[in-house]
């Protein structure tokens, strides 16, 4: 009886050790892969434009819920992914939007990619998906650099869309914004009232809110135009001392570093 129990215990230990080994292997290089934005640059051996239908084609693997999101420049594609030992990966298709766009080639091939790919390699900011370790690359992605560290500090508004004459709109005071990256907060002045709130940044994607402000009565409609447009912002780009905020691919606000 005691011998039988010992055999059972030994068996359980072996199973647990094997399970831990598989998990450790499957996590190899995982921190370099998941939770990052990857831009599609090559598909089935052909180069992919930086924007398709005006949008950046991308892939992102979420760490918390084991799901991926992607786009070939038209619809949002998503589902679940599983990492396996020896750099194995599998994708299962979930729900996606069903818009029709002018260029559907990249999106159609991207859907096929997720059915075929079973191996990944990450090396110096490049992600390659292939079928089999020795198979040809099915797709190549490059890491979208995180520019959030460039946002820290104070910025003064220099341009805003739909404003008419900018200098007349903000004749007394130009709006300012200050980023606190450690707290993921912003504060500033709308040209009249002070405001503060949260900011969410993911690669080049950015969104604000909710924003709270003081309630002083303001002349003109400069403040109204400011809040209307900052709530529409979906992306940003920083070049030297210039911050451009965009709605999709349209520049709607431009700031200069103070």
Residue range 100-115: mean pLDDT, rounded: 93
Cα of 157 vs its chain's centroid, Å: 25
pLDDT at 188 over 70: yes
Look up tokens 């805003």; give the residue.
160
The phi and psi torsions of 54 (rounded to 5 degrees) equal 80, 5
What is the per-residue pLDDT for 14?
36
Look up tokens 């200050």; give the residue.
178
Q: Which stretch of DSSP H or E encloses residue 53? A: none
At CA 237, angle to CA 256 and CA 175, rounded to 5? 35
Residue range 187-209: mean pLDDT, rounded: 92
What DSSP string runs through 143-194?
EPP--GGGS-EEEEEEEETT-SSHHHHTSS---EEEEETTTTEEEEE-SSSE
Task: For strands 153-160 and 176-180, give the pairing.
Answer: antiparallel
The phi and psi torsions of 170 (rounded to 5 degrees) equal -125, 55
pLDDT tier at 257 (50, 70, 90 boundaries)? Answer: very high
Instruction: Assign residue 158 a region (left: φ > 0; alpha: ψ between -120 and 50; beta: otherwise).
Output: alpha
Report the distance separating Cα 127 and Cα 184, nearest Å. 28
Residue range 175-199: mean pLDDT, rounded: 95
10 Å Cβ neighbour count for 150?
18
pLDDT tens digit sequence for 28-74: 457 789 888 899 999 999 999 988 988 889 999 988 789 999 999 88
* Domains of the chain (ranges, CATH numbers): 28-143 (2.40.128.270), 148-257 (2.40.128.270)
Percent of the chain's residues with pLDDT above 90: 58
In 3D space, the residue among 65, 80, 81, 84 whose CA is nearest the CA of residue 26 turns out to be 84
How crowded is the C-beta side of 135, counted as CA atoms within 13 Å? 17
Q: Are 91 and 112 in contact (CB under 8 A)?
A: no
Q: Tell me the CA distances in angstroms from 53 to 60, 73, 109, one per residue in order.
A: 19, 6, 15
| Burial label, 177 (beta-carbon count in 10 A; 0-12, 13-18, 19+) | buried
pLDDT at 91 over 80: yes
10 Å Cβ neighbour count for 45?
10
Report the distance separating Cα 43 and Cα 256, nearest Å. 38
User: pTM score, two decimals?
Assistant: 0.56
């Amino acid at each position: 009886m005691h011998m039988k129990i010992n055999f059972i215990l030994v068996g359980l230990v072996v199973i647990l050790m094997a399970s831990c080994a598989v998990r450790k292997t499957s996590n190899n290089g995982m921190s370099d892969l998941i939770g990052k934005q990857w831009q599609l640059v090559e598909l089935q051996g052909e180069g992919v434009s930086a924007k398709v239908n005006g949008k950046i084609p991308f892939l992102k693997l979420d760490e918390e819920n084991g799901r991926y999101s992607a786009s070939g420049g038209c619809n949002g594609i998503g589902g679940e992914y599983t990492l396996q030992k020896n750099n194995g990966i599998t994708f299962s298709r979930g729900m996606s939007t069903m818009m029709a766009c002018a260029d559907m080639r990249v999106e159609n091939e991207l859907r096929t990619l997720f059915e075929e790919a079973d191996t990944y390699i990450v090396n110096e900011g490049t992600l390659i998906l292939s079928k089999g370790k020795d198979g040809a690359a099915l797709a190549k992605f490059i890491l979208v650099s995180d520019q959030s560290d460039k946002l820290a500090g104070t910025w003064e508004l220099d341009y805003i869309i739909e404003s008419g004459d900018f200098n007349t709109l903000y004749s007394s005071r130009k709006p300012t914004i200050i980023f606190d990256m450690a707290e993921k907060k912003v504060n500033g002045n709308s040209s009249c009232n002070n405001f503060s709130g949260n900011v969410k940044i993911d690669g080049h994607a950015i969104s604000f809110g909710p924003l709270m402000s003081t309630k002083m009565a303001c002349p003109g409609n400069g403040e109204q135009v400011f809040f209307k447009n900052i709530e529409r912002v979906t992306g940003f780009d920083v070049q030297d001392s210039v911050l451009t905020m965009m709605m999709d691919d349209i520049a709607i606000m431009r700031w200069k570093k103070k």
